[in-house]
Amino acid sequence: MNLSRKTALLTGATGGIGNAIAKALADEGVSLILTARNGDKLTALESQLDGTGHLIHSCDLTKAEDRKVLQRVCAERGIDLLINNAGINHLALLEKMSDSELAVMIETNLTVPMLLCRDFLPLLVDRPESAIVNIGSILGSIGYAGSVTYCATKFGLRGFSEALRRELADRSVQVVYFSPRATATSFNSSKMVAMNEALGTAVDSAEWVAEEFINTLKQKNPHNRYLGWPEKFFVRLNGLLPKLVDKALFKQLPIIRRFAE
Active-site residue flag, 150: yes
**Closest chain position to ligand NAP (CB):** 15
Whole-angstrom CA distances from 148 to 64, 83, 92, 219, 224 are 27, 24, 8, 33, 22
Q: Which of 3, 18, 49, 260 lies at the binding interface for ligand NAP (CB under 6 A)? A: 18
Q: Which of 8, 10, 30, 61 lies at the binding interface for ligand NAP (CB under 6 A)? A: 61
Residue 14 binds ligand NAP (CB under 6 A): yes
CB of 18 to ligand NAP, least distance (A): 5
**Which residue pairs from 186-192 have beta carbons closer than 8 angstroms and sit at least 24 positions apart in sequence?**
186/15, 186/16, 187/15, 187/16, 187/17, 187/87, 187/88, 187/89, 188/89, 189/90, 189/91, 191/91, 191/259, 191/260, 192/89, 192/91, 192/259
Residue 31 binds ligand NAP (CB under 6 A): no
CB of 203 to ligand NAP, least distance (A): 7
CB of 229 to ligand NAP, least distance (A): 15
Tell me, by CB under 6 A, how many residues bind ligand NAP.
29
Quick check: bond before 222 cis, omega within 30?
no
CB of 22 to ligand NAP, least distance (A): 10
The residues carrying an active-site annotation are 150
Binding footprint of ligand NAP on the chain (CB under 6 A): 11-18, 36-38, 41, 60-62, 85-88, 108, 135, 137, 180, 182-183, 185-188
